[in-house]
């Protein structure tokens, strides 16, 4: 039975992943913004087989309480084996083109808040000399594109930060897993029309869960995004800047 800290527990992908932990009988500490929604998720996980389930409220911008939340989770669970971070916002790129405040908010929530939280968790895991820190980044962070570069650059920061952390913690027995989902059909992407490349939160959750349990450093979900992004990354910039991506 694992002790799992989940931050951003009311997002569709993260909740679907939490259900997989619950069905293994793991104990779970849920962090999110809405008390009533956390209670709904928590009760559901309990019915699905979770051991202990605790909750705490945290706003993304409440930097002062991040360390305290990690401590509370650790004392509730009696330690932490896995931490999964998966909150974020998807700003409208076109609006962001001329709205610096929106850019700042997207960066704050998606990048700054996330990497600060990772700092606290890294310290915790390093002290324990064990644990897995998983963070949901995005394929959008692999290359800047006109259609989504505000979100993408924040996710790039998360991916890079996770990469550095992984190298730093490798010798301490701490794993850092960067998860890069492609298009996922969630409330965050409700307004997009969906094509063949879109995946369900449940299928992405399965991949996240299995890569947290079984190993893996940088994990694309679904798997085929690894090859799509390999191609996207090798296109020369001179050509890339003219592509309608």
Partner 1 sequence: MSRYESWGRFPQAQQRAQRLCWRSDDILSLKQEDACGLPFGNGRSYGDVCLNDGGILLDCRGMDRFIEFDKKEGIVRCEGGVLLRDILQLVVPHGWFLPVVPGTQWVTLGGAIANDIHGKNHHRAGTFGCHVPCFELLRSDGSRRVCSPSSNSDWYGATIGGLGLTGVITWAEIRLKSIPGTEIEGETVRFGSLSEFFDLSRESDRSFEYTVAWVDALATGPRLGRGLFFRGNHSGNGHGASPEEAEKITLDGLPAVPLVNRATVRIFNALYARKQRRATKRVRTGYGPFFFPLDAVGGWNRLYGTGGMLQYQFVVPPKEASDVVSGILDRAARSSAAPFLTVLKAFGDKPSPGLLSFPRPGITMAIDFPNRGQPTMELLNSFDKLVREAGGRIYPAKDARMSADVFQACFPEWSELSSFADPRISSSFWRRVTDRPR
Hey, which residues are catalytic here?
151
C-alpha to C-alpha distance for 55 and 146, rounded to whole angstroms = 38
Q: Does 210 bind partner 1 (CB under 8 A)?
A: no
Cβ at position 21, least distance to partner 1 in Å:
15
Cβ at position 220, least distance to partner 1 in Å:
21
Q: Which of 24, 33, 37, 90 binds partner 1 (CB under 8 A)?
A: 37
Give the residue with the Cβ less far from partner 1, 28 or 176: 28
Strands of 170-209, DSSP E: 174-181
Closest by CA to 31, choosing from 80, 76, 85, is 85
C-alpha to C-alpha distance for 126 and 156, rounded to whole angstroms = 24
- Structure tokens belonging to residue 8: 């951003």
Task: Fill in the per-residue mask, 133 to 172: x = in contact with partner 1 (CB under 8 A), - = not in contact.
Answer: ----------------------------------------
Cβ at position 66, least distance to partner 1 in Å:
25
Q: Does 115 bind partner 1 (CB under 8 A)?
A: no
C-alpha to C-alpha distance for 28 and 52, rounded to whole angstroms = 6
Q: Which of 24, 44, 72, 112 binds partner 1 (CB under 8 A)?
A: 44
Give the residue with the Cβ less far from partner 1, 82 or 199: 199
Site for partner 1, residues 166 to 195, rule: CB under 8 A: 185, 187, 190, 193-194
Q: Does 12 bind partner 1 (CB under 8 A)?
A: yes
Q: Which of 33, 57, 149, 198 binds partner 1 (CB under 8 A)?
A: 198
| 199 DSSP 8-state letter | B
Q: Does 48 bind partner 1 (CB under 8 A)?
A: yes
C-alpha to C-alpha distance for 98 and 108, rounded to whole angstroms = 17
Q: What is the largest CA-CA distance in the chain?
A: 54
Cα distances (Å, whole numbers) of residue 107 to 24, 30, 89, 91 = 35, 23, 9, 10
Question: 185 in helix, strand or coil?
Answer: coil
Cα distances (Å, whole numbers) of residue 125 to 56, 82, 160 = 20, 9, 19
Q: Does 108 bind partner 1 (CB under 8 A)?
A: no
Question: 33 in helix, strand or coil?
Answer: coil
Cβ at position 233, least distance to partner 1 in Å:
28
Binding residues for partner 1, per CB under 8 A?
12, 36-37, 40-41, 43-44, 47-48, 185, 187, 190, 193-194, 198, 200
């Amino acid at each position: 039975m694992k002790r799992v800290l989940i931050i951003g527990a009311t997002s569709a992908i993260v909740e679907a992943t939490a259900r997989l932990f619950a069905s293994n009988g793991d104990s779970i500490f849920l962090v999110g913004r809405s008390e009533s929604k956390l209670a709904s998720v928590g009760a559901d996980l309990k019915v699905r087989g979770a051991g202990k389930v605790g909750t705490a409220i945290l706003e993304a911008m409440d930097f002062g309480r991040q360390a305290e939340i990690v401590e509370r989770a650790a004392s509730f669970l009696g330690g932490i084996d896995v931490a999964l971070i998966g909150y974020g916002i998807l700003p409208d790129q076109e609006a962001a083109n001329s709205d610096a405040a929106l850019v700042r908010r997207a960066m704050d929530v998606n990048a700054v808040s996330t990497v600060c939280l990772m700092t606290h968790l890294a310290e915790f895991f390093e002290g324990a000399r064990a644990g897995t820190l998983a963070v949901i980044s995005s394929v959008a962070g692999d290359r800047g594109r006109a259609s989504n570069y505000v979100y993408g650059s924040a996710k790039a920061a998360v991916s890079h930060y996770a990469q550095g952390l992984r190298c730093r913690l490798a010798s301490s027995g701490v794993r850092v897993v960067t998860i890069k989902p492609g298009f996922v059909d969630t409330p965050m992407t409700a307004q997009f029309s969906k094509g063949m490349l879109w995946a369900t939160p449940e299928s992405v959750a399965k991949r996240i869960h299995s890569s947290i349990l079984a190993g893996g450093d940088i994990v694309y979900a679904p798997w085929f995004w690894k090859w799509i992004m390999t191609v996207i990354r090798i296109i020369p910039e001179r050509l890339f800047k003219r592509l309608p991506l």
